[in-house]
Structure 1
């Protein structure tokens, strides 16, 4: 655009840079310009070249847009009309420029949002107005072929057969992004006037790296050209020109400051976006935030730091410094990510409770094969059962498979981890539901390591001595003893084979966490009750139960009110180190299943059982029966004190981890995954224990 300039304007070259934001709302419809897909390798491991992008561009025109992807091939065929939010038109392939860091182009299109999807349009407008268009994005759902590239460890898309849709998601993985809101009625060019000077508009689009959204700017430049002032310039005109030059210099400095602020704001937005997308712990995020905030940086510098942090966490996990596993995704506000929905579908498959208030009605996967195909896009297990975005070396198949390629960010957590997370939740739920009445009469303690644990038992003082007038106090000493134990590690490996997934044996997989939970709970119960049934040697090198000295806590009668009274009297007569009676009373009656009904009779009958005189039963409600199937003898019965009143048995858990833990080994180049095509799940439970004081325990027979 060229305008006539005055001689004064031609006096000297003047350059001014400013920023104009183009955003014109429409009354007849909602149009937004978008990038459908960016070439190169996506976060899901698929690689798109220019040929694949050209094919996608040719097939996309008129394609539908849905809110979120379909979860399975069945859902893809039967998409609901209520989920349709718009369609695509004006599709173009945009080649890469010399200034961009990527070597392949992208596919751009105009997305028309239906008026019925005003909720989505409001979300798009607000995200763009806040400068946060990356909060939502676009994900293509196509039918195509690929082959595994051993050198780049990616899946190269070799052909695109069909574009199912391009859907709006929260975590795009192939660079699908919103660019700018368009004028829906007429496409008029923006205009600007600055002090009646000629203006030239140049549209500039910044490049994208790693699928980050593209920010569209309109840059206005003004330039006046002249070599020298005319010789007839008067002093007044010279003064005016000097003043104008000073004003323009001030404006230039102000614009430089504004541009620097814009760069800082853009860097800050990039930093927060990438930290929110990252799965590293909050502590590392805080360190990176302190390192990068307040300065302009290149995005590749931040990416290098994030990758370094993830590699460090992976190494710490392999070394056992960090225990446990899980799939975490940062969320923005109350937005639900695609990964959260997939994890919820796994949870529902194991009959776990779903937060429907936040996630909505999530349908659980009806088969393990459906779950695997949904996460990996590999319906035939072509790439092995640990298929994820961080693949190890995998051999290329003889023929490329045809399958659904979904570019929402759900496969960054591998199938094995999503399955393992739900299995772990199911295991803990079943473990905590298993009866553990032994916890009523033992002390649970956290311990730090596998070293020998010592519990010192101090002696006791006798009666205080009488101190005569002007006489010194006499000194007394305390004796002590120690109960010791060494914690142990218990666990097993459970494998899920490739054949199990191909055979779609969901019932077998669903039973694994329940059976592991039962095994862990039963093993721990056996450990605790074995202290009662095996009569072990304890801290004083004597058996726990002795009929006479040193413990006097072993009776000879079968379970009855009379025998229980004898046991209670024996506990009452227990003494401390100074020979003083403690007056202890039992709180629980522990019996095997064979004595369950006898225990109910002797503790709940109003009269003495079997007495012809209708005497009152003094044992009515005196103790609480506990039935233990882990007790091996059908005749032994036990009286146990309240651990809050007297020490009995201590069970210590390493790291305070009372529940068992489930771990996963799914690396494709090591272990059973490599040699036998199986995913290995390891259950681990670490604890130990010992009798701390015999005086709170009594055994009959």
Structure 2
């Protein structure tokens, strides 16, 4: 949206306020007119923290008179200025301020053009289906506000200009469709409210039944009359109870859909209240408790699974989903085009920030809730955009972080991890020492003579231990990076983090091979003779591999019995890649003048490991399904690295350096649990 030159001292920003349908309206044909009485905005505090007093509501009422109504918000500031005539669906008239308790509201009549019958049909059908929350209103204005540090609210002090009042799918500021306006004929003078209307109907039915019963009382025996009265009373009470349950159910669904709770939290609230009568305050308390829990989880910083992406209702796509998809496209992530259509990714980080926060100059800092110091005085506040739209409920930092996390996981999982073929991956609960016990083995079963007892034997064992460790880094995105619009730098962050995490883990695994560590029996992993007999002295060749295979075949258990192990993998550094291909894929013995058959053809699978520190070492390793080799344990079973965020305005680098901090964390440990499945050639 282009800024218009004006002499305004206080903070001027663009405000977007959303409303929603709360009643099931009466059935009206298109020929009777398309006029709907609506509430543009409710006074008091909105869900996005803006507070509207009576003076602000009066200003909005004056600006809304005669304003055009559009379908959906403009996609960009340029589109907002050059709105198409095809988007116009009606206009507002008879706007007025309505006193209501301590807050008040602004009402107006929305006239929908006959050309927009599709919209009229949506409104009617949504009401008929009992799903009025599927459509609502959103107002977009320029205004002034001042920040109240005490209660973290933005108090609207002046409303300057109306940009538009649009019909959208996700309202968020408490407005509502009041009723459909009819012709003055008596048959069109009423409307039908799902809950209250049914209740009144049932009450009238009850009175009618009682009157009819009294009329017939003289003609029937008194006892029969009393039985009939009691039956009719019970039936009416049952109907009234059903109506009240229906009313409670509709209230529950409406408030849950109005809330910003993710679907999992909504389901928990729904399970506690569904199918019984409850007070409205009890419902509000349940929603507030769920929001408080999610807020605490947000402050803890874990991005994945937070539910900041708003749930889709009835297959419709929310504005928040579209914005998140634009972030995903910016990081070259796959998008569900069958659901979202062709989403254009943000072409700059500055565009993404401005789209979400409305702060094109970053005067408010980086976090969408960033503010420092005491109350900001209106005279010193900048001109910018305030939006009550759907996307502002999820901050820029979380939208960016969610897409970065997706990109990180995609790149991490795409990184070659062939070490997984020969190790055992295990979930572990905590950072305590992990113990893997190797039981001994029985020898040959002895013959038991007649009338003699069986001999008792005992098993010896040994234990491999390791302690998992935490690895990670901090990455910051500064205010200067966004102002400089360095998109390429930000797009590289998740990829580089993914590569670092994958390479670090690979180095950890291969260090067991190249480092020859001391293992559970207090001996180095590889020894030329006893106790392990798994270290050769020859360079990689078919003959040397045959010697290694024989050594593995001769490995024994605790009882001295040969296991007959067969290696499955040949692990080599890049320097031996082509040698490994020759010795494992040649039909004849390489270098043999007699064209001897190569017995190593296809015998093992080569694995090239850049992390191996020696250019001459090579390894034969068994299949972990047949013999334990190396165990890698991940804390909490979290194999992938985790991405965290810190964007609180009073903590960390966001306070001292105007920077969002992202943290990558990877927690794992490991150990050699059995030497017999590993052989080193030199």
Same fold (TM over 0.5): yes
2: CA distance between counterparts of 1:20 and 1:534?
A: 73
Let me know the Cα RMSD of the aligned residues: 3.5
Instruction: Give the match for residue 672 of structure 2.
Output: 691
Instruction: Give the match for residue 80 of structure 2.
Output: 76
Q: Give the Å deviation of 1:698.
A: 0.7
1: CA distance between counterparts of 2:234 and 2:117?
A: 45
Alignment of 1:645-684 (within 5 A): 645-684=626-665
Alignment of 1:224-239 (within 5 A): none
Instruction: Give the match for residue 497 of structure 1.
Output: 478
Preserved CA contact (<8 Å) 1:134 1:177: no
Judge which range, 612-621 or 69-78, deviates more. 69-78
Q: Give the Å deviation of 1:293.
A: 3.8
Q: From 70, 78, 99, give the equivalent of 1:96.
A: 99
- Counterparts in 2 of 1:47 and 1:313: CA distance versus 1, 3 Å: closer
2: CA distance between counterparts of 1:505 and 1:20?
A: 50
- Give 3-state SS (helix, strand or coil) of 2:654's partner: helix
Instruction: Give the match for residue 528 of structure 2.
Output: 547
- Counterparts in 2 of 1:584 and 1:253: CA distance versus 1, 3 Å: closer
2: CA distance between counterparts of 1:601 and 1:122?
A: 72
Matched, 1:188 2:168: no
Instruction: Give the match for residue 6 of structure 1.
Output: none
Q: From 237, 261, 266, give the equivalent of 2:247.
A: 266
1: CA distance between counterparts of 2:481 and 2:196?
A: 47
1: CA distance between counterparts of 2:139 and 2:470?
A: 48
Instruction: Give the match for residue 284 of structure 2.
Output: 303
Instruction: Give the match for residue 11 of structure 1.
Output: none
Number of aligned residue pairs: give it.
Answer: 643
2: CA distance between counterparts of 1:611 and 1:20?
A: 89
Judge which range, 493-502 or 421-430, deviates more. 493-502
Q: Give the Å deviation of 1:316.
A: 5.7
Alignment of 1:457-472 (within 5 A): 457-472=438-453
Matched, 1:625 2:606: yes
| TM-score, length of structure 1 as denominator length | 0.84
1: CA distance between counterparts of 2:218 and 2:427?
A: 84
1: CA distance between counterparts of 2:198 and 2:549?
A: 87
Alignment of 1:318-357 (within 5 A): 325-357=306-338
Instruction: Give the match for residue 139 of structure 2.
Output: 140
Instruction: Give the match for residue 396 of structure 1.
Output: 376
Alignment of 1:428-577 (within 5 A): 428-577=409-558
Judge which range, 541-550 or 278-287, deviates more. 278-287
Q: Give the Å deviation of 1:572.
A: 1.0
Instruction: Give the match for residue 54 of structure 1.
Output: 58
Alignment of 1:113-262 (within 5 A): 113-116=113-116, 118=118, 120-183=119-182, 186-190=183-187, 261-262=242-243
- Give 3-state SS (helix, strand or coil) of 1:477's partner: coil
Preserved CA contact (<8 Å) 2:199 2:240: no
Q: Give the Å deviation of 1:454.
A: 0.9
Q: Give the Å deviation of 1:379.
A: 2.2
Q: Give the Å deviation of 1:189.
A: 4.5
2: CA distance between counterparts of 1:555 and 1:332?
A: 65
- Counterparts in 2 of 1:114 and 1:54: CA distance versus 1, 3 Å: farther
1: CA distance between counterparts of 2:239 and 2:94?
A: 35
Instruction: Give the match for residue 38 of structure 1.
Output: 42
Matched, 1:275 2:256: yes
1: CA distance between counterparts of 2:508 and 2:340?
A: 41
Preserved CA contact (<8 Å) 1:146 1:401: no
- Give 3-state SS (helix, strand or coil) of 1:438's partner: helix
2: CA distance between counterparts of 1:325 and 1:253?
A: 48
2: CA distance between counterparts of 1:391 and 1:695?
A: 62
* Deviation readout 1:293-319 (Å, 9 max, x if unpaired): 455544344223322232234446657
* Deviation readout 1:175-198 (Å, 9 max, x if unpaired): 232222333xx4434479xxxxxx
- Counterparts in 2 of 1:306 and 1:641: CA distance versus 1, 3 Å: same
* Deviation readout 1:358-406 (Å, 9 max, x if unpaired): 1122121222222222222222223221114x98876516533333343
Instruction: Give the match for residue 109 of structure 2.
Output: 109
- Give 3-state SS (helix, strand or coil) of 2:500's partner: helix
Q: From 23, 28, 31, give the equivalent of 1:27.
A: 31
2: CA distance between counterparts of 1:629 and 1:123?
A: 61
Preserved CA contact (<8 Å) 1:267 1:296: yes
Preserved CA contact (<8 Å) 2:302 2:645: no
- Give 3-state SS (helix, strand or coil) of 1:404's partner: coil
Preserved CA contact (<8 Å) 2:170 2:319: yes
* Deviation readout 1:540-584 (Å, 9 max, x if unpaired): 010000111111111111111111111111111111111111111
* Deviation readout 1:483-539 (Å, 9 max, x if unpaired): 111111111111111222222222111111111111110010000000001000001
Q: Give the Å deviation of 1:264.
A: 3.8
- Counterparts in 2 of 1:250 and 1:546: CA distance versus 1, 3 Å: closer
Q: Give the Å deviation of 1:54.
A: 2.9
- Give 3-state SS (helix, strand or coil) of 1:403's partner: coil
Unaligned runs of 5+ in 2: 1-22, 205-214
Q: From 585, 598, 605, give the equivalent of 1:604.
A: 585
- Counterparts in 2 of 1:268 and 1:324: CA distance versus 1, 3 Å: closer
Preserved CA contact (<8 Å) 1:608 1:614: yes
- Counterparts in 2 of 1:251 and 1:52: CA distance versus 1, 3 Å: farther
2: CA distance between counterparts of 1:665 and 1:581?
A: 57
- Counterparts in 2 of 1:290 and 1:67: CA distance versus 1, 3 Å: same
Preserved CA contact (<8 Å) 2:24 2:128: no
- Give 3-state SS (helix, strand or coil) of 1:410's partner: helix
Unaligned runs of 5+ in 1: 1-18, 193-200, 207-213, 223-235
Q: Give the Å deviation of 1:77.
A: 3.3
